[in-house]
Amino acid sequence: MSSIRNISVDVASIRILQYLRTHNYDDCAIYINRLNSNTFRKILNTDLSIDILLAQLPFSIEIFEVIYSKIFIIDPDTFPLQILKPEQLISKMISIFSSAMHENISSIFTSSKFNEQYIDDEHILSNFASILRIISYVRPILFKRLLRQKEIIDECILYFEQRHSNITNISILRKSTSLTHINLKETLCHELESTIICCQQALHKLGTKTITMPRTSSSAYSTPSTPKKHNSIRTSTSVISSIATTSTTNSLDDIQNRLYQHTTILNSIEPYLSHSKLHTIINNLSYKVSIDKQILLAYAHIKTHEKQIPFGEPLLPLFKRFAFAYERI
């Protein structure tokens, strides 16, 4: 062991690369773990390609665990994020876990050089958990981002399931119009026309309404009030605006008169406006816009992990696969 720790950078690099070429990952991890920390850091900066290890995941996961642990122990505050690429590592593992939902993880790579490799799923999770603990320390914001992505995917899955749309809403990324869209447009047009008519009726009622101020006795209150002229007021838009701004005093008479005015106006126009469904339709439309944005955002997140998504692939099964993958992180 002492000879390995004192070995030169060149010799150690050749040995590591040989292990990787022959896919001898266990021995490679053991060898790296025995190397002097300073020696290995030099190898990492010059000779060892993290991209090669990323391409060989999940088989190289144990090597990643050794590398991350070894570098973290040296100095966690100078952890080389750009070299070790934790985001790419997590993204690759998410893709692997999503593929493993319906197939054994040992069949992820089908090329002949991996056919005889056996992968222990629990062993991978154990190695990956150790790596994640280190990443959570050196890059905590990454986990907040992943958590938000998982929440968005879950919201989309819930929407699909509630709408019973695991077949009909598959083409949500491809269809520009649908029967739902046409019905919504017709309903919205009808409600807008209905609301316009109701508003015109309310405006006419408001314009012809006469508000007579009630006569209040100042002796009825302990607080004296100044006498007021009680005359009929023909309401209009100018009258409504003046109600809120005419008086800044807060005597009991003022409050009583203000309440009477506001109640009279409300009772005049409310019957014409309370039947309008426009607000409900607008809220429904806003929700549809919001959930479609969420679906597209979730799909964009998935695309960062899964570059090759078949055209027209059903969204609900796709989202469920990646929700499963996120849960394993």
Alpha-carbon distance of 156 to 139, in angstroms, equals 27
Query: Tens digit of pLDDT for each residue in 16-58?
Result: 999 999 999 999 999 999 998 888 989 998 888 899 999 999 9
Alpha-carbon distance of 103 to 321, in angstroms, equals 11
Alpha-carbon distance of 110 to 117, in angstroms, equals 10
297, 155 in Cβ contact below 8 A? no
Range with the poorest average pLDDT among 73-77, 108-112, 158-162: 108-112
Using the predicted structure, report yes or no on whether residue 62 has a pLDDT greater than 60: yes
Residue type (1 letter), 102: H
290 vs 218 pLDDT, higher one: 290
pTM exceeds 0.75 for this model: no
**Other CB atoms closer than 10 Å to residue 177's CB: what's the count?**
8
Using the predicted structure, report yes or no on whether residue 150 has a pLDDT greater than 90: yes
Alpha-carbon distance of 99 to 308, in angstroms, equals 12
Which of 32-36, 121-125, 189-193, 247-251 is most confident? Answer: 32-36
Alpha-carbon distance of 318 to 107, in angstroms, equals 19
Give, in degrees to the nearest 5, the angle at Cα 75 between 70 and 76.
90
Residue 225: band (very low, low, confident or very high) from pLDDT cuts 50, 70, 90? very low
Environment class of 288 (CB within 10 Å of its CB; exposed 0-12, middle 13-18, buried 19+): middle
**Other CB atoms closer than 10 Å to residue 278's CB: what's the count?**
15
Alpha-carbon distance of 110 to 21, in angstroms, equals 17
Q: Tokens for 245?
A: 């701004």
3-state secondary structure 73-88: HHCHHHCCHHHHCHHH
**210: β partners:** 234
Alpha-carbon distance of 62 to 66, in angstroms, equals 6
**DSSP code for 183:** H
CA distances for 12 relative to 16, 39, 100, 126, 282, angstroms: 6, 8, 35, 27, 67
Query: Tens digit of pLDDT for each residue in 263-280?
Result: 888 888 888 777 667 788
Query: Can you list the alpha helix ranges (DSSP code H) found in 100-218?
Result: 121-138, 140-162, 179-208
Alpha-carbon distance of 194 to 297, in angstroms, equals 36
Give, in degrees to the nearest 5, the angle at Cα 156 between 155 and 158.
65
